[in-house]
Every structure is written in C-alpha cells, then in structure tokens.
A = this chain, B = another copy of it.
C-alpha cells in the first residue's frame, strides 16, 4: 500500500542528512545553517522542520550516520586495557569532527550506531569484576571525562585559530606569586604544558582508579568537605 494520504513529500530525512554532510565537508561546521541547508536541498528553511525536530536532532542524525563507520578496533583481552582501548577509539573518532562538540551535551548514549562503545566498555568493566551497576557508573564517568576533554580540545583549537592569546598572558602577568606560588612557578610554560595531549594518560588513570575500587560508594574515607548541601536540587 504505497498510496499514502496527504501531500506527497518533495524531500526526505535522508536528503537532508546527506546534504548536510556535503555542506560540512565543503565548508566546515560554520557553513551548516538551516537556511544554507534548505538552499542545498532546494526547499525553504521551514520545510526542513517537518523532517527534523530541530538543528540538534539534525546533528544527532549526522553523528549517527558517521558512527556507523567509526572504527571498531580489535581489542586486547585484558579487561582494563580493553576498557581503555574502547574509550580511546571513541575519543579519537569523535575528536576529529569539530561539530561533534555541539552534540556532546545531547546524551550519554550518543546515537544508536554508537552504542557499540558503551556496550564494550561496560562489558569490559563487568569482566574486570564490577557489578553491572558500577560498570554503568564507570562508563558514564569515562564518558564525562571524554566529553570534557573533547570540548576543551575544541575550545583550545578555536582559541588558537582566533589568535588571541591575550587572556592567559594577562592572568599570569598579574599573578600574585605569594598567594599562588605553584601557578607562578609554571608561569609562561602554562601555554606549552597545556598544549600537550593528556587524554590517554587521564583515561588510564581513570581506569586504574575505577578498577582499584579503593573508595566504594558510600565508603567512609575521603569524605567530601565543606557543606553537605548539594546545589543541584
């Protein structure tokens, strides 16, 4: 029954997504606007909104398309290494696409086609001896770190491209060496030190710590200092 009711569509979701791909490829993230996209597809901007809820959903579709082709590398057998390797693969796949950043806030599950990554990480964590619940926690923690690193990376790149290194200079120039001796000791080298890629190092530390499991949830040690009230609700 291919006979559907209503005005027949001139464009499809797939048309939109592939046009978006083309634009991003040719003109980068900034070139992808709903108006520009409409022109590319050959329709009006608002027509897009009948196929896509908003721009964020469009980016999610783009991610999903892209995720289908992301590398699923051979993984080591040992659990900790396996977790780290899967996370690195996820990180590397995402870090290369600047527009990803706009979608990172969307969800911790990313897209359907990217579910292989959480699955693999959670599975490795369970194999390493965590309960399923704690494995999920571990995945989310790794994800927060990963998303944060990618965001910072993108911001640093943007800063580099825009050229204005003034702010950090000013900070270190005005810095009170008595109150902040460590930062003063770093001084001009901040720029250089923070340019290094520390994702892998942090990830390994995280995996080690998560599996070491020194501080079980609700455990007594390393209690939070300061007031007890949680400012989020």
Interface residues of A, Cβ cutoff 8 Å to B:
71, 73-76, 78-81, 84-85, 88-89, 92-93, 95-96, 101, 104-109, 112, 115-116, 118-119, 122-123, 126, 128-129, 132-133, 135-137, 140-141, 143-149, 151-155, 157, 159, 167-168, 171, 174-175, 179-183, 185-186, 190, 193-194, 196-198, 200-202, 204-212, 214-215, 217, 221-227, 229-232
| Copies of this subunit | 2
Q: Which residue of the partner chain, among B143, B171, B225, contacts A109 with CB atoms under 8 Å?
A: B171
* B residues in contact with A196, CB < 8 Å: 137
Closest to A97 in B: B231
- Complex Cα distance A206/B157, Å? 25
Task: Show 25 A/B contacts (Cβ-Cβ < 8 Å), sorted by A.
Answer: A73-B225, A75-B225, A80-B222, A85-B224, A92-B226, A106-B155, A107-B155, A107-B167, A115-B180, A116-B179, A129-B229, A132-B186, A136-B190, A136-B194, A137-B193, A141-B201, A141-B202, A144-B145, A147-B148, A147-B152, A197-B230, A201-B215, A204-B214, A211-B230, A212-B212
Known: A92-B226, A95-B232, A230-B92. A183 touches B141 (CB 8 A): no
* B residues in contact with A116, CB < 8 Å: 179-180
Q: Nearest chain B CB to A233's CB is how many angstroms away?
A: 9
- Complex Cα distance A206/B181, Å? 24
Give the interface SS of chain A, mostly helix, strand, loop or mixed: helix
- Complex Cα distance A217/B210, Å? 19
On whether the beta carbons of B126 and A182 are closer than 8 Å, the reply is yes
On whether the beta carbons of B227 and A78 are closer than 8 Å, the reply is yes
Known: A206-B206, A212-B205. A137 touches B198 (CB 8 A): yes
Q: Nearest chain B CB to A75's CB is how many angstroms away?
A: 7
* B residues in contact with A137, CB < 8 Å: 193, 196, 198, 201-202
Closest to A84 in B: B222
- Complex Cα distance A225/B74, Å? 8
